Structures are given as structure tokens and as C-alpha cells.
């Protein structure tokens, strides 16, 4: 699913709050969220984004490759998370399974103090597979109760949680 304009505008604003920031996007898709993030980022910020679907990577790169702040990786987000152990990011947007439902603890460990963690697609979607609702509910409960985070649930757009690493 492409980035909803309201979510995109929020991502742009959050990216703007991290001058010189290191941003990680898990799930590039066709690059819409990355475009919003880049629009809010300062010239000295960087965006690392990963996508497993080769066709979507090609679309995103065709539109965004001119931006030197962007590093686009074609690969598995879960594997990338494993390779990033010890690194710190100022903003993480988890828009794929890894970083949200899988490898959540490792993803939260990538957050610098004061960093933002954003997840979307938390409101019921017609494209959800059977049984996905309880998994989303468990994720929401986990994030809202996570002691390393101060989190807020937003029931607009596709449904989001915006959290800050304590």
C-alpha cells in the first residue's frame, strides 16, 4: 500500500525535527514515504531504505536516485536489521513486517536516545490476511507498554504509533 498523504506529511515533519539525522526506512515500496522523508530532511541528513521487491526498488530508484542523501538497498529488511546492530538512528519508519512484527527488539535497539519510531497500517485494512487483526492488536499493546518508549497511538490515516526512545 502506498503512503497516505497524511502519513507522508507527518513523516516529513518528523524528519525535519532531526537536523543532520540518520533515518532508516524499513520497506521502501515505490518510494513515496522515502520522498516525504527526504523532503523534510536537512542537507546533512541521510536516509537508508530497504525493499525486497526488485520491481519496487527500481521504481523508487528511478525517482529518487538523484538525491545523494539516499542509500537504497535491495534486500531483506530483517537481514539488514541484523547487519545494523550497534548503529543508531534518529528516526525509524517501520513499514514492513521486519521492524514491526519481526525483529522488533533489534529495531528498537537501533534507536538513539530521543529518536523517533513510527509504524503505520494499524487500522483494519481490506488487504490484511486472515488473522492479522490480533497480531496488530498485540503489537499496539506491546509498543504502548514498552518501557524504552514514550508512545502515542494515532487513529487517523492508516493508523499509526509515533514513539520516542527514552
Q: Positive or negative, the Cα torsion across 71, 14, 17, 37?
A: positive
User: Nearest-CA neighbor of 50 among 4, 96, 91?
Assistant: 96
Q: Give the global pTM.
A: 0.96
Q: What is the pLDDT of residues 100-121, one digit of tens each?
A: 999 999 999 999 999 999 999 9
Tell me: pLDDT of 158 over 80. yes
Burial of 129 (0-12, 13-18, 19+ CB in 10 A): exposed
Go through the domains of the chain in sequence order and give each one's CATH number.
5-165 (3.40.50.150)
Q: What is the pLDDT of residues 74-103, one digit of tens each?
A: 999 999 999 999 999 999 999 999 999 999
Tell me: pLDDT of 54 over 80. yes
- For residues 40-67, one letter each, b for 16 or more C-beta atoms within 10 angstroms of the residue's C-beta and e for the rest, the string is bbeeebbbbbbbbeeebbebbbeebeee
Amino acid at each position: 500500500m502506498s503512503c497516505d498523504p497524511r502519513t507522508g506529511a507527518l513523516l516529513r515533519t518528523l524528519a525535519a525535527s532531526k537536523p543532520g539525522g540518520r533515518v532508516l526506512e524499513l520497506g521502501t515500496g515505490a518510494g513515496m514515504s522515502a520522498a516525504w522523508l527526504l523532503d523534510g530532511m536537512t542537507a546533512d541528513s541521510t536516509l537508508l531504505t530497504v525493499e525486497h521487491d526488485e520491481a519496487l526498488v527500481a521504481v523508487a530508484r528511478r525517482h529518487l536516485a538523484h538525491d545523494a542523501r539516499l542509500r537504497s538497498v535491495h534486500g531483506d529488511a530483517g537481514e539488514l536489521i541484523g547487519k545494523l546492530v550497534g548503529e543508531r538512528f534518529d528516526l525509524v519508519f517501520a513499514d514492513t513486517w521486519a521492524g514491526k512484527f519481526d525483529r522488533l527488539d533489534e529495531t528498537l535497539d537501533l534507536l538513539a536516545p530521543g529518536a523517533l519510531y513510527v509504524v503505520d497500517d494499524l487500522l483494519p485494512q481490506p488487504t490484511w490476511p486472515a488473522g492479522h487483526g490480533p497480531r496488530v492488536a498485540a503489537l499496539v499493546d506491546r509498543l504502548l507498554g514498552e518501557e524504552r518508549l514514550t508512545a502515542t497511538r494515532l487513529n487517523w490515516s492508516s493508523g499509526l504509533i509515533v514513539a520516542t526512545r527514552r
